[in-house]
Amino acid sequence: MPLTAEQAMLQVQDRLRSLKSLVYEIETERKRNEPNIVKAIQLTKASGEDKSPALTHKLKAHYKVGIQDAIQEEALIRQALAKIQDIRNIRNERRIQARNAGNKETIRRGALMKMLQISAQTLPLFVSKVGEKIPPLCGSIPADNNYVAKPGDMVAALVKGVENEENWILAEVVQYLANASKYEVDDIDEEQKDRHILSKRRIVPLPLMRANPETDGQALFPKGTTVMALYPQTTCFYKAVINSQPQTANEEYEVLFEDPTYADGYSPPLFVAQRYVIAIKQNKKVSGSS
């Protein structure tokens, strides 16, 4: 059953209280763990000169305690991130309800570009545990073949323009029409206000999580890979080549867009967030217009 505005507000407030409590717990845990870390660092430095079994045993003991402390701190951080995602989901559900009720808010283009940037920066970060498999729609990992995007999800959609040209645009899922195996999507660009009904092959779901380059680099497109990327300050995807990968969780891809106006056929390097870089559809023409 859809949430009322009051119910949504109460749920968000409940998650915020839990989140505040978890933040305090994380800070308390870090302060409690700090003396052991400092001691381990001191013993590590001393072990360079002192190779005695006693010192080695003591150092190992501090390392074991440090590992357990890190596991506990990681668990608290993951709980906090889950609360943040809950809040995002509740707010998104309310936004979809408002849209379906005909209360869609008009967003100016400048505000839309800022919103898309923030959305990419705050996309949940996946940090795998040891031996954990990277899930679909994390970084460069594609969706499963039977995956169905949910209402409110962002996708790249291949649509026909006024002169019958095909363009990949950024769109939002309205609903999936299971009987016809088609999506109903809205153009994210407020100036277009277009709604399209498209087959699944004309839809590419965008990542739901960022990959952490420091732990899950295999979920990033390698340098030289041909991809589709959202051209900065537009809502269209263009064919591009990865020039360099993100090195940290907060960095973006550096890409070279195909552009015949340049002598080498490519634009100067531009930065695009993980959320807006996806695998190219080899069997389709990739084009776009701003």
Query: pTM above the 0.85 mark?
Result: no
The answer to whether 218 and 225 are in contact (CB under 8 A) is: no
Beta-sheet pairing, 210-211 with 125-126? parallel
Q: pLDDT of 196-247, one tens digit each?
A: 999 999 999 999 999 999 999 999 999 999 999 999 999 999 999 999 999 9
User: In Å, what is the CA distance from 195 to each residue of 129, 160, 168, 224?
Assistant: 41, 12, 14, 34
Q: Residue 101 is encoded by which pair of tokens?
A: 């009720």
Task: Work out the mean pLDDT of the chain and round it to a whole number.
Answer: 89
For residues 164 and 86, which has the higher predicted lDDT (pLDDT)? 86
Q: pLDDT of 115-145, one tens digit each?
A: 899 999 989 999 888 889 999 999 999 999 9
